[in-house]
Amino acid sequence: MGKATGFLEYARKENPFRDVKERLTDYEDLHIQQPAEERTCQASRCMNCGVPFCQSSFGCPLHNLIPEWNDLLCNGLEKEALERLLETAPFPEFTGRICPALCEKACNLADDGVTNRDNELYLIEKGFEQGWMRPRLPAERTGKHIAVVGSGPSGLAAADLLNRMGHRVTVIERAEKPGGLLMYGIPNMKLPKEIVERRIRLMEAEGVTFLLNREADPEELKEFDAVVLCGGSRKPRSLNVEHMDAEGVRFAVDFLTETTKKLLNGEDSCLAKGKHVLVVGGGDTGNDCVGTVLRQGCASVAQLEMMPAPPESRTAGNPWPEWPRTLRTDYGQQEAQAVQGSDPRIYETTVKSILTDEKNRITAVETVRLHRTPEGKMEPVPGSEQTLKCELMLIAAGFVGCEEKTLQLFGLSADGRGRLLPENLSHHLSGKFFSAGDMRTGQSLVVRALADGRAAAQEIHLFVSNHH
């Protein structure tokens, strides 16, 4: 423990958001990084608990050695702290920006938990700044060649660890840039794309090969000793209403991807400019859509959430150290409040019908209120219908599994939830094929995809080692 009384002397202090009016004019990083002195103070709040729930299954899926590197950071041993962090965390520059920080809610300080996410971001950025993040080449190569299909979080994590184990790794990606969700599905203000590209360059220097604009070919994959499918859970959940084919009805990730591509090409993205926008879905992706359409100059934005508003505190039905389901106002909702004067979220409401004009363009959405039945189902409330003007509807209702195209291409069968999850819960599908990430588990957090990619790499390593 760096400072036994640190948690008593210093209050929790996160990296603050930039001013709302300023950040709404660009797609730059949302946060202001704090100086080293503040990070030292925050690290000193870590109590080195007898039972560190932060690195348990309740806290960090990667099982980061949080008390250890917080102690080193507190004592000014930044390089050593980074080395300890990198033992378990493949890409702290990603998780330090986009992870919901389950570890902080599992902290023994509870709602005043240590700012682990900001601390790890400080360490990795310090490492790049000081030149500590140099290519780490394996001492020797095994002669085994592994293919990773998909370069999202799980694919990159699997490729990174397999390469460190000495295997030759080739990542096959259908898009023009690697990164998957990290590159295209998460807005630039949450995860600047130069950060993703910086990591890709480092991985290439370490020996990982990226083949871009390429669909995986089963015939070409025969030359590899093992193949791990990391294509994600890419099949979006639709709405059971008519006119889903109307102009102006879009799936959220498609919209976010298009926006990112235009930004990367130096073009203005103004699909929402001057339009009344309705976002269907109250999760992180829905919030990202709210923040994005505001930057594009929408006329208004509302966000529908089927479930009731969660409580404002973690006291009711939220057992510590599990992640509490509490009311959280994220950056997009904060920005909507600043622009429109109120939170854009409408709880216990869903889409009943889509209204269109003679050219099949969306003009409005009829919504209906929901209530929970004694059996726990959410059902419509008769007579509660309301019509909202809408010229762009973004559906952020989650995903229901991997693409049918992938299943057909490799002759695979998904389970009832669209997952490539073997009955024994391993990563091994059949022959030399494995699965990892959202394709295996269903949609989840980036940090869980990273952990699953690393777990798949360990399984593949044993497989190829036992097959000479």
Percent of the chain predicted with pLDDT > 90 = 88
Residue 150's pLDDT is 97
Do 442 and 419 form a contact (C-beta atoms < 8 A)? yes
Residue 317's pLDDT is 61
Residue 320's pLDDT is 82
CA distance 278 to 262: 22
Averaged pLDDT for residues 34-44: 95
Q: Judge residue 242's burial from the number of C-beta atoms within 10 Å of its C-beta, 0-12 exposed, 13-18 middle, 19 or more buried.
A: exposed
* pLDDT tens for each residue of 185-218: 999 999 999 999 999 999 999 999 999 999 999 9
The least confident of 232-236, 277-281, 360-364 is 232-236
CA distance 190 to 332: 11
Would strands 386-389 and 392-395 be described as parallel, antiparallel, or unpaired?
unpaired
> Does the pLDDT of residue 325 top 90, yes or no?
no
289 Cβ contact list (under 8 Å, min separation 6) = 252, 255, 256, 277, 279, 303, 332, 394, 396
Degrees to nearest 5, angle at CA 418 with 416 and 422: 80
Strands (DSSP E) found in 69-139: none
Do 103 and 128 form a contact (C-beta atoms < 8 A)? no
Convert 159-215 into a string of H (helix), E (strand) and C (coil). HHHHHHCCCEEEEECCCCCCCCHHHHHCCCCCCCHHHHHHHHHHHHHCCCEEECCCC
Q: How confident is the model at residue 318 (pLDDT cuts 50, 70, 90)?
A: low
Q: Token pair 């709880």 is at which residue?
A: 347
Averaged pLDDT for residues 157-164: 98
The least confident of 156-165, 237-246, 263-272 is 263-272
The first and second tokens of residue 398, run together, are 């989650």
Would strands 392-395 and 249-251 be described as parallel, antiparallel, or unpaired?
parallel
CA diameter of the chain: 70
Residue 319's pLDDT is 75
According to CATH, what is the number of the domain 145-234+400-465?
3.50.50.60
What is the average pLDDT score of the chain?
Answer: 95
Averaged pLDDT for residues 100-115: 92
- Residue in 134, 104, 135, 136 with CA at minimum distance from that of residue 119: 104
Residue 315's pLDDT is 67
User: Does the 249-395 domain belong in CATH 3.50.50.60?
Assistant: yes
The first and second tokens of residue 229, run together, are 């499918």
Residue of 82 and 404 predicted with greater confidence: 82
* pLDDT tens for each residue of 301-317: 999 999 999 887 776 66
Residue 83's pLDDT is 98
The alpha carbon of 281 is separated from its chain's Cα centroid by a whole number of angstroms, namely 16
Tell me the backbone φ, ψ of residue 347, rounded to 5 degrees.
Answer: -85, 160
Do 230 and 155 form a contact (C-beta atoms < 8 A)? yes
Residue 329's pLDDT is 93
> Does the pLDDT of residue 234 top 90, yes or no?
no
Q: How many CB atoms lie within 10 A of CB 274?
A: 10
CA distance 108 to 52: 8
Q: How confident is the model at residue 327 (pLDDT cuts 50, 70, 90)?
A: confident
The first and second tokens of residue 132, run together, are 């500590």
> Does the pLDDT of residue 323 top 90, yes or no?
no
> Does the pLDDT of residue 250 top 70, yes or no?
yes
> What kind of fold does domain 6-130 have according to CATH?
Fumarate Reductase Iron-sulfur Protein; Chain B, domain 2 (1.10.1060)
Q: Token pair 């189902």 is at which residue?
A: 377
CA distance 352 to 301: 18
Residue 105's pLDDT is 92
All CATH 1.10.1060.10 domain ranges of the chain, comma separated, are 6-130
CA distance 367 to 303: 11
The first and second tokens of residue 209, run together, are 């090969």
* pLDDT tens for each residue of 424-433: 999 999 999 9
CA distance 89 to 87: 6
> Does the pLDDT of residue 468 top 70, yes or no?
no
Q: How confident is the model at residue 31 (pLDDT cuts 50, 70, 90)?
A: very high
262 Cβ contact list (under 8 Å, min separation 6) = 268, 269
Residue 316's pLDDT is 62
CA distance 81 to 86: 9
Percent of the chain predicted with pLDDT > 70 = 99
The CA–CA distances, whole Å, from 178 to 186, 202, 253 equal: 13, 13, 16
Averaged pLDDT for residues 326-349: 95
Do 299 and 410 form a contact (C-beta atoms < 8 A)? no
Q: Is the preceding peptide bond at 153 cis, omega within 30 degrees of 0?
A: no
> Does the pLDDT of residue 17 top 70, yes or no?
yes
CA distance 228 to 284: 27
CA distance 293 to 278: 10
The least confident of 3-7, 253-257, 388-392, 395-399 is 3-7
All CATH 3.50.50.60 domain ranges of the chain, comma separated, are 145-234+400-465, 249-395
Q: How confident is the model at residue 359 (pLDDT cuts 50, 70, 90)?
A: very high
